[in-house]
Every structure is written in C-alpha cells, then in structure tokens.
Amino acid sequence: MKILFIGDIVGEPGRKAVDVLLPKLRDQNAIDFVIANGENSAGGNGITPAIAGELFSAGVDAITTGDHLWDQKTVSELLYSEPRFLRPLNYPATVPGRGANVFEVQSPKSKAQSPLLIGVMNVQGRVFMPPMENPFTTAEAEVNRLRERTKIIFVDFHGEATSEKIAFGRFLDGRVSAVVGTHTHVQTADEQILPNGTAYLSDAGFTGPHDGCLGREIEPVLKKFLTGMPQRFDVARNKIILHGALIRIDDATGKAVSIQRIAEALS
C-alpha cells in the first residue's frame, strides 16, 4: 500500500494546492490512500464542514487535526457525524469525535480479493502544548485495539517538541507502520525506517504559502515580536508548496518499505 500524508493545510492557498496537485500526485505515484492534516485549512484557523467537504472532494480520504481543532464552532458537526474526520485521541473520553478509525482500501495492485484495511490515528503531544491525556499510554491502548483488525496503522503526532516526537516514534516502532509529525510547519530532513519497521518523520511541513512566516504574512509577525502587541496574522499568498510524505507499506506485515518527503510547488 502507498500512503500520501499531506502536512498542515493552511488557508485557501493550501486548499488550492491540494485541489490542483493531489490528482497528479495520486496518479504519478499510484497512491492508494491520502491523509491530510486540516486543522489550519479555514483561513489558517480551524476547519469547517464545508472545507472538509472540499478536501474530501479533492481526493483526501481522511483528515487529522490538532490544537486548532476548536477554532471554528461548526467543527462539532464533523466530530459528531463524519467518520473520516479525526481529532486528537488523547482528549478525555467524554469529548465528541474519534481519535482513530479503520478504513477500507481497495488497492488495484493488491492480490487480496477483499479490501485492505488501514488504521489512522491522531495524537497530540504535551510538551509546550495545551494539557492533554498522556499520548504514550493513550496511543498504546488504541494501537492494541487497531491491530486486532489490521497491521497497517498510520499515526499523525501533532506536537511541538522534536524530542517528544522522536520518543513517540521509538515507542511505537514495530507496532505501527508510520509515525509522522505535524504542527511546526517546518519540514524536517530526518525521514527513516526505524529498526523494527516503522517509517518516521519528525514533521511533514505545511501545505500553503511559503513566502511568509509559517504561512502567515511577515509584517504582523515581526510587529508582534518587536512590540509584544496583539496582531492579526493573515494568511500569506505566494510561493505555494504542498508538503508531505509518501510511504510504502508491506501489505502482509504492515511494516514500512520506504518513506520519501514530498515538496511539490504550485506553478
């Protein structure tokens, strides 16, 4: 199975990149399943049901999120009714929505007569982030449940600290197919297959305008740092790039065969 993970989609420019570039990427790389982090896709702040619909129509199969989950009040509609939409697993159990799900994938390359299954899990870190349940213990219990149905499991770890992300990847090495980080909007160059077969990347980067500061206009960000005064961080407009990772998984074992960073510019 080939999985494409798309890093944090930022605003309308990021959505445009997905709409235009995803069909080509899917065909060129024979991608079977597409996961995208959509927590910044609504003007750089949160996500709405309409925007989630846009992403699904563009070819995204599952959407993950993070600490900007609650920025749009209509997100509750997705949490209650959309099984392809995930929020961080390590919220308290009473919070609506789901942190993981299993999806059917009918791969034309697979010799299996029945669809393959892929588990997708969304977890949020705690270092320099809002308080959450322990991501390690919460994820371990969920991985055990997912593995009762499939060995192919992808994890979006939404976190700030590289040390926490690396530790999490090592913790689940051999028990999931891939752990890819999000949140920092800076694509890292540490893609690797860990010793027990888990593909790992500290951060997939972001999909959107790269002529600003993490997808935002530069001047307000500079003014905030110079004065400490609140600013409105509008989404930048130019140098639009789709960032992500392409991961190939062995269908029988669930172990990663390869991981490749993606940086596709929108011309």
Residues 97 and 49: their CA atoms lie apart, in Å, by 14
Distances (CA, A) of 154 to 39, 135, 171, 181: 18, 15, 14, 11
Q: Which of 68, 183, 210, 243 is the catalytic position?
A: 68
Main-chain phi, psi angles of 156, to 5 degrees: -95, 110
Angle at the Cα of 21 (from 19 to 26), degrees rounded to 5? 105
Residues 133 and 193: their CA atoms lie apart, in Å, by 28
Distances (CA, A) of 118 to 38, 102, 178, 203: 19, 6, 11, 21
Residues 45 and 232: their CA atoms lie apart, in Å, by 12
Does the active-site annotation cover 210?
no
Angle at the Cα of 33 (from 143 to 177), degrees rounded to 5? 35
Residues 241 and 264: their CA atoms lie apart, in Å, by 6
Rg (Cα) of the chain, in Å, rounded?
A: 17
Distances (CA, A) of 243 to 51, 113, 124, 154: 19, 33, 20, 17
So which residues are the catalytic ones?
68
